[in-house]
Each structure stands twice: as structure tokens, then as C-alpha cells.
Chain A
Amino acid sequence: MTERLDQASLLEAIERAGRIIEQADSALAAARGGAARGQTQLEAVSDAARGFSGRGREVRASLQLVYEALERAKLSSLNAGLEAGRLSEPAGKIVMQLAGDLRALIAGGLEALEAHATLLSDSDRERERWLDGVVTTRETLAGIIADLGVLSRHRQEMLGALSSLEHAVAPLLGADPQTARRLAELSEQAKALAATVGALTKQGVDERVRQALAPLLDALGPRSGSDS
């Protein structure tokens, strides 16, 4: 009787392992889906970064236009200063002063423009590093998807092995799988009952209860009825 119960438990364990593998399969599918979505999102980020690169070139081109305009304005203010130098006092002094003020403003504009160009170069370098990171992450994600594929194949093999094991064990039970399953469930419940009885006995419950259940405990095996 005990031997049959153990065999039934083995069958139940195989079925439980099968269910766990099925759950793992769902998790695997979810992981693959998540990884694929992650890849798509990374592609979108990568495309956006490339678009941003184009915008950077446009900004740089417009900065160059502003720079050239300011350089021309600087030359004009220098020429105004020269003309003022040829004028007699006091008109010459006033025009010279105006030209000087204008040059100071233009110099400020040119400095700000250079600061902008430096910031733009910094952000270009930052974007390149960012893109490198995206590429690395994409490669890592592709590796994870490949690993998940391998895992999926292993899962299939494991399911096949469990099925073979189930078929190998079933004849030993001498019963159909449905009966064996019921027997296994019964065995689990009886073991739980035995453990409870064992615990109660330790707490001082009447020995007669244990004696009444002794045949069942014996049938369940030598370790039944003990909570150790």
C-alpha cells in the first residue's frame, strides 16, 4: 500500500513539475514579449536621436549665418570708427564713441555665439555617447532574446522528458492516471492529517486518538505522524 502511495506521489510530483513548467512558459512568453517591445522602443529612441542629430546640423548652420552677420557688423563698426577718425571734432568723437559702443555689443554677441557653439558641440558629444549606449543596450537585449529562445527549447525538452517519465511510471501504479492522481491527492491529505495528529499527540492529546489512527499512519509510511 505504502509503495503504491509513493508511486502515486511520484506521478503527482511529475504533474506538478509539468504545471510549474507551464507557468514558467507563461513567464518566458511574457519576458520575450517584453524584450521585443523593449527592442522596438529602443529603435524608436535611436531614430529620434538621429533626427535630433539633423536638427543639430540645422542649428549649427543658422548659428554660422548669425556669426557671419555679426562679423560683417563688426567690420562695419570698424569702418565707421575709421570714418569718424577722419571727421573733425566734435562730430568725429561722437561717431567714434557710437562705433565703439556698437563694437562692444557685437563682441558680446560673438562671445555668446561661441558659447552656444561650445554647448552645441558638448550636446553632440553627449548624444553620441547616448547613441552608443542605445546600441549596446540593443545588442544586450538581442542576446537576452536569443537566451530566452534557448530557454524555450530547454522547456520543450523538459516537458518531453516529464511526459516520458509519466508514461514510465503509470504502469507501475497498475491504475489509470486519473485514479493515480486521486490516490496521490488522498495521500497528500492523509499525510497532512498524520502530521496534525503527530503534533496533537506531542501537545498531550489522548494516545487513544493516535492508536485509532495507527493503521492509517502505518499505511502512509514510517515517517508519517511525525512533524520532524
Chain B
Amino acid sequence: MSERAGLLVRAGGELGFVPATTARSIVPLPPMSPVGNTPLLMTLVSGRVVPVVALGSPTSVLVVCELDEEQIGFSGLEVNAVGSFEATERGVLVEGRAVPELDLLGALRSMEPALEPQLGEAP
């Protein structure tokens, strides 16, 4: 039986798993600024500017992840637990219940069209 370490988070009422290899840290929710004409937000974490993707209504924390060697913050997540859990094909098993891994990269990619420069706008 293989195990996977990571976070159990609740996003919009659904339980999800974020691997420890992706999640870098959990910080108190900092003040955030909107990025004009995009659904993205920006914030400062340990002196670094980090883009933030909102996955739900804001909670008290920001989960900072590393995706494609870039730090991205995810808000709207409620951290329930951290630990090592039994691995499954699509996530982990927690108390006999399958918890899928959150598709954070997919969430980020879904925003890319909104980030592309539009005609008549400065890049």
C-alpha cells in the first residue's frame, strides 16, 4: 500500500487533496489586489509577488502552491488536515472515502484565455 502526503482541503463544500509536492505553505490570508481586466488577484507572500486564483469564497488562509516552477496562491480553500493518506489512482483514501486530487493546474489553465491580450489593448 503506497501513501501520499499532502493537504485535505474543502473547496465549495467538496473535499479535495493537494499533494505535499505541490503545496508549499499555508499562510494567513493577506490583503489582495485585483489585476485589471482579469479574474486574477495579486498579493505579497514573504516579500514576493504571487498571483492568486480564487477557488471559492475567501477563507482565513491562502494555500501557496508550486505549479510549473511558479508560485501560485489559491484562496477559497479551507484546510481540514495534513498527513499521509492511502494513495488511489485519482487521489487518496480518507477513512474509506475516496478524495480526488484537486486539479489546480487545470484551474490555472482555464484562466489563460482571460489573460491573453485582446485586440486594441496593450500587451
Q: Which residues of A contact B (CB under 8 A)?
A: 71-72, 75, 78-79, 81-82, 84-86, 92-93, 96, 99-100, 103
Q: Which residues of B contact A96 (CB under 8 A)?
A: 5, 82-84
List 29 A–B pairs whose Cβ atoms lie within 8 Å, in order of A's numbering: A71-B28, A71-B60, A72-B28, A75-B26, A75-B27, A75-B28, A78-B7, A78-B82, A79-B25, A79-B26, A82-B5, A82-B6, A82-B7, A82-B23, A82-B25, A82-B26, A82-B82, A84-B5, A85-B5, A85-B6, A85-B20, A86-B5, A86-B20, A92-B5, A93-B84, A96-B5, A96-B82, A96-B83, A103-B82
User: Known interface pairs A86-B21, A92-B5, A99-B82. Does A78 touch B60 (Cβ–Cβ under 8 Å)?
Assistant: no
User: Known interface pairs A71-B60, A75-B61, A78-B79. Does A85 touch B84 (Cβ–Cβ under 8 Å)?
Assistant: yes
Separation of A92 and B61 alpha carbons in the complex (Å): 24
Are A78 and B26 closer than 8 Å at their CB atoms?
A: yes
Given contacts A81-B83, A96-B82, A99-B82, 12 further A-B contacts (CB under 8 A): A71-B60, A75-B28, A78-B7, A78-B82, A82-B5, A82-B26, A84-B5, A85-B6, A85-B84, A86-B21, A96-B5, A96-B84
Q: Which residues of B contact A103 (CB under 8 A)?
A: 82
Chain B: minimal CB distance from A79 (Å) = 5
Separation of A29 and B91 alpha carbons in the complex (Å): 86
User: Known interface pairs A82-B23, A85-B20. Does A100 touch B83 (Cβ–Cβ under 8 Å)?
Assistant: yes
